[in-house]
Amino acid sequence: MTACGAEDDSSDGSGSEGGSSSEESSDASGGDFPEGDGVFTVGSLLPQTGDLAFLGPPEFQGVDLAIEDINAAGGVLGQDVVGIKADSGDGTPDIAGAEVDNLLAEDVDTIIGAAASGVSVSVIDKITGAGVVQFSPANTAAGFDTYDDGGLYFRTAPSDVLQGEILANLVVEDGASNVAIMGRQDFYGEGLAERVQEVVEEKGASVADFVLYAADAQNFTAEVNQIAATEPDALVLVAFNETTKIIPQLISKGIGPQDIPIYFVDGNLADYSAENFDLTGVKGTAPGAAEPDPDFEDRLRENPDVDDLTYGAESYDAVVISALAAIAAGNDSGEAIASEIVNVTREGTECTEFEECAQLLEDGEDIDYNGKSGPTDMTDSGSLVSGTYGINEYDGNTYERIDTVSGVVPETS
C-alpha cells in the first residue's frame, strides 16, 4: 500500500463539500470554507460485524456518550448534535464503501471510524474527497501520517510506530533472543510487524522468521509449520479474530502459549472465554489512558453489549474534539472543522470536559483539550504526538493490565 491514494472524482453524488452548501463564508478560524448547514452531524463507521466486532460496542458507546454530554451542555453552535450509525465491517466482504455513501447522503460533517486501518484506507479518498472529516478512534497504521488526505484525516489512537517499539522492547526485556513474527498481510498488520522486526533487531535479538499471511485465509498450516521449524523462543502475533484458528495450530506444533512466550497486539487483545485453549501468560499491548477514569468506564459498561473497553475513550474524544473544532471555527462544515482540530488539542488553556472547553472558546481563549483517553495533542498531520499503552497479561482467556508505558511517537517520513 503506497502512502498516497488515487484522487477521488467525487462522482458519488455527494458533491465536493460532503453535502454542505456550496456557499463559502469567512468564519472564526479566519479561512474561507463552505458554510455548514448549522447542525453538527456525526456518522459512526464502526464494526458491527466482522473480526473486529468486539471493538464495536465500546466505540459506539463512546460516540453516544460524547453526543449525550455535548447536547446536555447546549450542543454545537446552538443546535443538538445528530448521530448516525453505520457498519464498517472488517473489509471481508467490503461493505464500508456503501455505508460511507449512506452517511454522506445524510450530510454528515465528521465520520468517526473506521476501526481497522485497512478499512479506513479503503474509504479515505471517498470521505475526504467529499470535504468530510474522517476521524478514527482506532487506526494505528503508520502510513496515515504521510497519506494525501487533504488535511481531513485525524486519529486519537497513537501510531504503530510507537506500539511496535513498545512491544518489541517488552519482548526483548522478557529475555527473548530468537523471535518469530507472524502477521496479517494488510495495511495494519504488515506495518506493525515490520516495526516490531526493526526494533527487535535494533535491541540485539534475532528474528527467527517473519511470516505474513492472507487476512482471509481459511487455515494457517503452512505459516505455522514454517515458524515452528525455526524453533523460536518467542512469537509476536499481529492478528485479528483469526487468532482463534492460529492458536490451536501453534499448540499442535509445540509453540503454543504453554511452550513459548506469545505476544498479542491491539487487534487481537480480546476476551477469548468462549474458546477451549488456554492463553495464560500471553501478553499484549493496547492503547489506553495512563489513569483511566473509573466513572467513565462505568458509563461505557452501561451498555450491556460492552465487555471490552478498548477504544471507547478514544471514540468519545474524537467526537468531542470535532465538536470543539466546529465551535472554534464557528462553522460545522467538514473543512472548517478540520482547520481547527489540531488547534483545540494543543498549546492553549488545558480543559478536560466539553462544557468547560466550549465556554473557554466562547470567551475567546485557545484551548488544549485533554480527554478521556489522556492528552490528545496532535501533530500537524493529525496524529497524536505521544501515546500510552497498557501492557496486559492473560490469566486463562481473559486479561488485565499489569503495566503502563508512555512515549513520544517517533516521526515518520
* pLDDT score recorded for residue 24: 47
DSSP state of 380: T
225-234: b (≥16 Cβ within 10 Å) or e: eebbeeebbb
In the chain, where the domains are located: 24-158+294-379, 161-290+387-408
Contact assessment for residue 102 and residue 226, using Cβ atoms and an 8 Å cutoff: no
Q: What is the pTM of this model?
A: 0.86
3-state per-residue secondary structure call for 52-87: CHHHHHHHHHHHHHHHHHHHHCCCECCECCEEEEEE
pLDDT tens by residue, 336-390: 999 999 999 999 999 999 999 999 999 999 999 999 999 999 999 999 999 999 9
Q: Is 308 left (phi over 0), alpha (psi -120 to 50) or beta?
A: beta
For 275, other C-beta atoms within 10 Å of its C-beta total 13
Identical fold at 24-158+294-379 and 161-290+387-408?
A: yes
**CATH class label, 161-290+387-408:** alpha beta
* pLDDT score recorded for residue 5: 32
* pLDDT score recorded for residue 30: 53
Contact assessment for residue 336 and residue 132, using Cβ atoms and an 8 Å cutoff: no
* pLDDT score recorded for residue 269: 96
* pLDDT score recorded for residue 154: 98
pLDDT tens by residue, 45-69: 999 999 899 999 999 999 999 999 9
Rounded CA-CA distance 117/138 in Å is: 8
pLDDT tens sequence for the chain (413 residues): 323 333 333 333 333 333 333 344 445 545 689 999 999 999 999 999 998 999 999 999 999 999 999 999 999 999 999 999 999 998 888 999 999 999 999 999 999 999 999 999 999 999 999 999 999 999 999 899 999 999 999 999 999 999 999 999 999 999 999 999 999 999 999 999 999 999 999 999 999 999 999 988 989 999 999 999 999 999 999 999 999 999 999 999 999 999 999 999 999 999 999 999 999 999 999 998 888 899 999 999 999 999 889 999 999 999 999 999 999 999 999 999 999 999 999 999 999 999 999 999 999 999 999 999 999 999 999 999 999 999 999 999 999 999 999 999 987 65
* pLDDT score recorded for residue 1: 30
Considering the domain delimited by 24-158+294-379, tell me its CATH architecture. 3-Layer(aba) Sandwich (3.40)
* pLDDT score recorded for residue 31: 64
* pLDDT score recorded for residue 317: 98
* pLDDT score recorded for residue 65: 98
